[in-house]
């Protein structure tokens, strides 16, 4: 059976859903192909479950930091039950239910095709015994998967990745974590709070290597205060787990060993392109396998281009769900405009902010919220930046959030243009500060204009006033 649509989207995670929705709203017929769960990694194994686990822990600690509050306690079973509700777990089984999101596709007028997709020709996709043809475009939104490195004994040890760690129905007595990035830090804090003895093994000399060093230092101190054993500048050499279950032993580069009941691998991601048929249509990929795209998200290489587009993690541009969704919206609008013969250079159809404006939040306690460049990145680009640092407790609102509030804020100012090119906030409840920074960076708002954006008193947003005063305004 052959089915024809205007647009075929491969991957029904948040990125694919956004691309499909915008194309459908643009008047096009759309099919979306998914081999696993509608909603993808973010809904079931990453963003949603990890934050559902973290929020009760953060709320408990926030309560304990306010004088006059009796505080709260972390209820392990309650935390796990809340996570189960967010991932739509069916009873006590391991099955996750995506019917709600599948129903949304139906309501939006998007046809769902379940199965594994493979590109077999220009605008042609095979899914099992079905052949789908696109009159206009095919969009790749297959995302990324956890990276499990080729470390002796590691794969045979059946380690956890983020998928197992965010959906586990039990809390191991001892948990070893390989990696020191966002996933490693967040889940180390989750399991320490739920009762595990946690050891973090990171070969770099700091945590959160893509953030400002002071952010990683603050998170490390918090993890250690939680009882986590953080071992930096330490490399795992081998893993031993006879039979692939039970106790697991990690041998380290300093000759010591870590023995745990479970081992979480959180050392990065890889593009989910295996079996997709990219080589069959001439798509160009990087050495790690990420799909190469133009600034219009058009895949480089295929005959008859542009007809093949890609958005989200699969491009390797910014491995962040919100940035992938942004790219998906832009791609959907672009395809609809081209199909209708409208100008395709309208605002919003080129995702120009994928690098400089990317915001990110690390949902540890303290939170790390950042947008734009770090100081090192700005100097590598040759920008004449001035670093402005102030403590978060210089804003009156921070003291109302918590007694003895601890945290830091940084702005990076391009001195030639007098605009903000980077911002980092570290502390309790700083996540909501980052969007203002994103607007300032993407909008290239002059500092003299920011000075007139008056923050409410007494809120933590007053930190912007303190930063601008420190700069000299």
- What mean pLDDT, rounded, does the chain reach? 94
Structure tokens at 232: 């930096």
Structure tokens at 424: 């980092």
- Residue 411: φ, ψ to 5°: -115, 145
pLDDT digits (tens, 9 = 90+) for 393-447: 999 999 999 999 999 999 999 999 999 999 999 999 999 999 999 999 999 999 9
Query: ω before 128 within 30° of 0 (cis)?
Result: no
pLDDT band, residue 69 (cuts 50/70/90): confident
pLDDT band, residue 346 (cuts 50/70/90): confident
**Res 347 pLDDT > 80:** no
For CA atoms 406, 46, 378, 232, the dihedral sign is positive
pLDDT digits (tens, 9 = 90+) for 211-239: 999 999 999 999 999 999 999 999 999 99
**Can you give the pLDDT at residue 333?**
93
**Can you give the pLDDT at residue 349?**
66
What is the mean predicted confidence (pLDDT) over 28-43?
97
Q: Provide the phi-psi class of 2: left if phi over 0, else alpha when psi is between -120 and 50, else beta.
A: beta
**Res 354 pLDDT > 90:** no
Whether the Cβ atoms of residue 252 and residue 237 lie closer than 8 Å to each other: yes
Whether the Cβ atoms of residue 311 and residue 322 lie closer than 8 Å to each other: no
Show the domains of the chain with their CATH numbers.
Answer: 2-45+87-146+270-339 (3.50.50.60), 155-267 (3.50.50.60), 366-471 (3.30.390.30)
**Can you give the pLDDT at residue 282?**
94
Can you tell me the distance from the alpha carbon of 329 to that of 302, in angstroms, rounded to the nearest whole number? 22
Q: Which residue has the tokens 């795209």?
A: 293
Smallest CA-to-CA distance from 97 within 53, 166, 143, 38 is with: 38
Can you tell me the distance from the alpha carbon of 152 to that of 166, in angstroms, rounded to the nearest whole number? 25
**Res 390 pLDDT > 60:** yes
Instruction: State what percent of residues in the chain have pLDDT above 70.
Output: 97
Can you tell me the distance from the alpha carbon of 133 to that of 88, in angstroms, rounded to the nearest whole number? 33
**Can you give the pLDDT at residue 142?**
98
Sorted by sequence, the CB contacts under 8 Å of residue 404 that are 6+ apart come out as 65
Can you tell me the distance from the alpha carbon of 132 to that of 225, in angstroms, rounded to the nearest whole number? 55
Q: What pTM does this model have?
A: 0.94
CA distances to 99, 300, 351, 360 from 314, rounded to whole Å, are: 25, 13, 15, 18
CA distances to 96, 236, 254, 459 from 24, rounded to whole Å, are: 27, 48, 56, 41
**Res 353 pLDDT > 50:** no
**Can you give the pLDDT at residue 344?**
78
Can you tell me the distance from the alpha carbon of 338 to that of 334, in angstroms, rounded to the nearest whole number? 6
CA distances to 161, 185, 249, 269 from 239, rounded to whole Å, are: 15, 21, 6, 20
């Amino acid at each position: 059976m052959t089915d024809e649509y205007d647009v075929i989207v491969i991957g029904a995670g948040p990125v694919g859903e956004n691309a499909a929705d915008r194309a459908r709203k643009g008047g096009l017929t759309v099919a979306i192909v998914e081999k696993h769960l509608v909603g993808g990694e973010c809904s079931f194994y990453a963003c949603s479950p990890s934050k559902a686990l973290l929020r009760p822990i953060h709320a408990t600690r926030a309560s304990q930091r306010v004088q006059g509050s009796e505080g709260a306690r972390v209820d392990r079973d309650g935390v796990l039950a809340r996570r189960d509700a967010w991932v739509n777990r069916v009873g006590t089984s391991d099955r996750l239910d995506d019917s709600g999101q599948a129903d949304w596709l139906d309501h939006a007028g998007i046809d769902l095709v379940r199965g594994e997709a493979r590109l077999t020709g220009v605008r042609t996709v095979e899914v099992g015994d079905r052949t789908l043809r696109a009159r206009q475009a095919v969009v790749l939104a297959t995302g990324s998967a956890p990276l499990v490195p080729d470390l002796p004994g590691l794969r045979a040890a059946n380690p956890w990745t983020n998928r197992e760690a965010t959906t586990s129905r039990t809390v191991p007595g001892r948990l070893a974590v390989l990696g020191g990035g966002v996933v490693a830090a967040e889940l180390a804090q989750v399991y320490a709070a739920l009762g595990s003895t946690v050891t973090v093994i990171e070969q770099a000399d700091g945590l959160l290597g893509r953030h400002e060093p002071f952010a990683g230092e603050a998170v490390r101190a918090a993890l250690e205060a939680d009882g986590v054993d953080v071992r930096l500048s330490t490399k795992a050499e081998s893993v031993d787990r006879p039979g692939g279950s039970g106790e697991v032993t990690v041998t380290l580069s300093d000759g010591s060993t870590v023995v745990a009941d479970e081992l979480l691998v959180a050392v990065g991601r890889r593009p989910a392109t295996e079996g997709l048929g990219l080589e069959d249509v001439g798509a160009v990929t990087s050495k790690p396998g990420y799909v190469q795209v133009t600034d219009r998200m058009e895949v480089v290489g295929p005959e008859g281009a542009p007809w093949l587009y890609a958005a989200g993690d699969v491009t390797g541009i910014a491995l962040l769900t919100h940035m992938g969704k942004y790219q998906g919206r832009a791609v959907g609008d672009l395809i609809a405009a081209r199909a209708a013969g409208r100008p395709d250079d309208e605002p919003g159809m080129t995702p120009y902010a994928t690098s400089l404006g990317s915001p990110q939040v690390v949902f540890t306690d303290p939170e790390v919220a950042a947008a734009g460049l770090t100081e090192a990145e700005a100097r590598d680009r040759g920008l004449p930046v001035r670093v402005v640092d102030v403590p978060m407790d210089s804003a009156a609102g921070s003291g109302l959030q918590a007694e003895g509030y601890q945290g830091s804020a940084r702005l990076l100012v391009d001195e030639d243009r007098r605009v903000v090119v980077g911002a980092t906030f570290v502390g309790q409840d700083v996540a909501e500060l980052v969007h203002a920074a994103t607007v300032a960076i993407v909008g290239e708002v002059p500092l003299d204009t920011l000075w007139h954006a008056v923050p409410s008193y007494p809120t933590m947003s007053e930190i912007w006033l303190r930063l601008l005063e420190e700069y000299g305004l």
